[in-house]
Amino acid sequence: MLEKKIALVTGASRGIGAAIATRLAREGAFVHVHFSRSLDEAESVLAEIRASGGDGALIQCDISHLENTRTALESIENLDILVNNAGFASFGPLESVSVEDFDGLFNLNTRGLFFVTQNVLLKLRENGRIVNISSGITRVNAAGGSVYAASKAAVEAFTRSWAAELGPRGITVNTVSPGMTETDLLRQVTSPEYLEKMKSETPLGRLGQPVDIADVVAFLCSDEARWITANNLLANGGVG
Q: Which sequence positions are flagged as catalytic?
A: 148
The DSSP element (H or E) to which 112 belongs, if any, is none
Please report, as a single letter, which amino acid is at residue 238: G
The DSSP element (H or E) to which 28 belongs, if any, is none
Question: What is the CB neighbour count within 10 angstroms for residue 3?
Answer: 8
Interacting residues of 29 by C-beta distance below 8 A, sequence separation 6+: 2, 3, 5, 6, 7, 54, 80, 81, 221
Contact 160, 217 (CB under 8 A): no
Angle between helices 146-166 and 99-106 (to 10 degrees): 30
Contact 145, 102 (CB under 8 A): no
